[in-house]
Amino acid sequence: MLSPDSRLLLLDALRPPAGFLFDRAIATTFTLDLETALMVPLALSGYAIKESPDPVEVLDAIRSCAGKIDIFCQAGGIRADRWPSDLIGLLENSIHQVPRPKPGCLFHPKVWVLRYLAQGDRERSYRCLVLSRNLTQDRSWDLVIRLDSDSISGGRGINPSNQNLNRFVLALPELAVMNEDSERASAMAELAEELRKVWWELPEDVKEIQFWPFGLPRMRKPKTEEMFTGYRHLVVSPFISPQGMAIVLGESNDTVVSIISRGDELDRQPQDQMPEGTYYQISPLANLKGDEERSEVSIQTEQMLGDLHAKLFVVETNRRARVYVGSANATETAFNGNVEFLCEISGGATRIGVDALLGEGSPLREILEEYSFPEAPAQDPKKNLAHSVEAYLFDLAGMRFRADARGTADAWSVHVTSDDPVPMPAKFDAELFISPLNRTDRKRLAFGQYVAAEFAPMAGADITPFMALTCVGRGEGGEVEKQMVVRAELVGGPSERLDEILVRQIDTPEKFLRLLDLLLGLGGALVPVSMTGAHATDGSWGNAGVGPGLLELVARSLAERPEALDALDSVVDRLSSTERGRAILPPGWNLLWEAMQGARILVGREHG
């Protein structure tokens, strides 16, 4: 357990079990990278994750999954170094921002709850991921507990261990100020109710599981003094404070404590206020073997261990161990104000206790070195300034922004406003700018004034609710520039905006055939046809045209998956709604489309 060379990629952990299809996902994350968000539907749809994904596969995955995914993140936690893709427009309604739960506190949990449906029957499978990892591309050492459903009810009825998980999911729409009567909120409530009867397959050496959410409205705070009481502790936390450690250790002075954190974070702490114990940091020489001894896995491990991001608390008492994994750091705000989530697993101390994880010869111990505090806490004015700028932007992101789109045809303008005036930073001098994420012409904002910024001209498909807030802060630490992205409330705009985004992706007959092939599950049968023959370079159906062989292939596919035509119908409608889209439909398409609709009617009769 906790072997640093054991690797599980988050996107791989989302893939459906064998024989099942994705049906619903609810996710929480502190920060959300938009480019990574686009990869989530690929994983849920079972596609391979490649460095340069097939844009048609991405489109097909988003089309089929977007309405079934809800991702909650801290307001201001959306990140994008660049405009990821126009396709992010299809995920707009899946992303929900949560303002600060309290002043100075954050929405910080990292949880996934997923439901899958068996192909061909009504059997359901569930999965829960509790992580220390955000939905980003960061290369860091993180932890995840993956739980797969064992059975639903099955004579065992309601699972009391899932009560807090149920409450956590039910609280999310309120935290994000969602319309609780919306279709999405209703679907979330349905999944939360189903979780009450889900029993989990226990990981090896684990006897019990509990869930511990912090910071939820109208929910009693977990009793940390009971959670963390013990005679031996291991704390793994990238961020740490004396007040946080006091919460974890309580008033006990006789516990044996081991602490693993980042060296630069420990440098900032006053040693006389930190608990006595053995402190560790990841060794900069971890796994640095000779080239001939270094496997691909060890090289990847070295790269991964550059940034500790795992959060772990191990408590031993009465030869038992309780292990807590999740989002909470060993800081005061983690347990007194933030929204956090921990999963507790318990078992024998010899199997999952401190020595099992940190004992001599363990993979974890081999990549650590003992840490010694400096004579005085380190001071870094520039880092302090950066923290102040980030804190200001998180406050700002909690405001409500509105983007009003006005215009006709391709001559659109977007007017961005706010419900509140822009506050003046208290700790530094600053300049503040706003711009749509897909534009570079940012507008300066005036402190003490309401946001009023207009951007024009733009095409309808370029209208986006994602706005970049950029703050340039100046103070004792020099100058720091930070950017965060917020999702404004988008009002107006062309009704065919999403249609045009789709047309931009399916911009050739060949790509349309590729999408058709994916929807019908033909395994590439259409793509070679479209590329064969001396006269087929325009994406037509090849020399054979729409002949009996192709029609039979399509009809057989529709018999196996009749719902594919329903999905294709919406795609064709979108393409047919614009002149540009109609030009993309391959020659002979109308003949095939009529045949497919006829086949769908026959399939319906057979199943009627």
Q: Tell me the per-residue pLDDT of 206-233, one tens digit each, with 9 for 90 and over.
A: 999 999 999 999 899 999 999 999 999 9
Does pLDDT of 581 surpass 70?
Answer: yes
The per-residue pLDDT for 462 is 95
The per-residue pLDDT for 526 is 63
Q: Tell me the per-residue pLDDT of 436-483, one tens digit each, with 9 for 90 and over.
A: 999 999 999 999 999 999 999 999 999 999 999 999 999 998 999 999
- Quick one: average pLDDT of 308-327? 96
Band the pLDDT of 500: cuts 50, 70, 90.
confident
Using an 8 Å Cβ cutoff, are 164 and 171 in contact? no
Least confident of 122-126, 214-218, 355-359, 517-521: 517-521
Using an 8 Å Cβ cutoff, are 263 and 281 in contact? yes
Please state, in angstroms and rounded to a whole number, the distance separating the CA atoms of residues 173 and 497. 27
The per-residue pLDDT for 223 is 95
Using an 8 Å Cβ cutoff, are 286 and 367 in contact? yes
The per-residue pLDDT for 472 is 98
Sheet hosting strand 443-445, strand order edge to edge: 32-33, 78-79, 478-487, 466-475, 429-436, 443-445
Bridging pattern class, strands 111-118 and 20-29: antiparallel
Does pLDDT of 297 surpass 60?
Answer: no
- Quick one: average pLDDT of 25-36? 97
Helix (H, G, I), strand (E, B) or coil at 472: strand
210-239: b or e for each residue (b if 16 or more CB lie within 10 Å)? bbbbbbbeeeeebebeebbbbebbbbbbbb
Q: Which two tokens stand for residue 148?
A: 């797969």
The per-residue pLDDT for 529 is 45
Q: Tell me the per-residue pLDDT of 81-130, one tens digit each, with 9 for 90 and over.
A: 889 999 999 999 999 999 999 999 999 999 999 999 998 777 899 999 99
Using an 8 Å Cβ cutoff, are 32 and 134 in contact? yes
Does pLDDT of 496 surpass 50?
Answer: yes
- Quick one: average pLDDT of 309-330? 96
Band the pLDDT of 292: cuts 50, 70, 90.
very low
- Quick one: average pLDDT of 339-364? 94
3-state secondary structure 5-64: CCCCCHHHHCCCCCCEEEEEEEEEECCEEHHHHHHHHHHHCCCCCCCCCCHHHHHHHHHH
Right CATH number for 379-492 from 3.90.660, 2.40.128, 3.30.70, 2.60.40? 2.60.40
Q: Fold identical between 222-285+305-368 and 379-492? A: no
The per-residue pLDDT for 300 is 46
The percentage of residues in the chain with a pLDDT greater than 90, rounded to a whole number, is 63
- Quick one: average pLDDT of 147-156? 75
Band the pLDDT of 295: cuts 50, 70, 90.
very low
The percentage of residues in the chain with a pLDDT greater than 70, rounded to a whole number, is 84
Band the pLDDT of 534: cuts 50, 70, 90.
very low
Does pLDDT of 315 surpass 50?
Answer: yes
Give Cα separations from 147 to 209, 240, 301, 321 (angstroms). Answer: 10, 28, 24, 19
Q: Where are the domains of the chain?
A: 8-200, 222-285+305-368, 379-492, 505-521+548-604
Q: Tell me the per-residue pLDDT of 377-393, one tens digit each, with 9 for 90 and over.
A: 999 999 999 999 999 99
Please state, in angstroms and rounded to a whole number, the distance separating the CA atoms of residues 42 and 65. 9
Please state, in angstroms and rounded to a whole number, the distance separating the CA atoms of residues 569 and 553. 18
Beta-strand ranges (E) seen in 446-553 are 450-458, 466-475, 478-487, 489-492
Please state, in angstroms and rounded to a whole number, the distance separating the CA atoms of residues 60 and 396. 36
CATH architecture of 222-285+305-368: 2-Layer Sandwich (3.30)
Strand partners, 32: 78, 135
356 Cβ contact list (under 8 Å, min separation 6): 1, 321, 349, 350, 362
Q: What is the pTM of this model?
A: 0.90
The per-residue pLDDT for 395 is 98
177 Cβ contact list (under 8 Å, min separation 6): 99
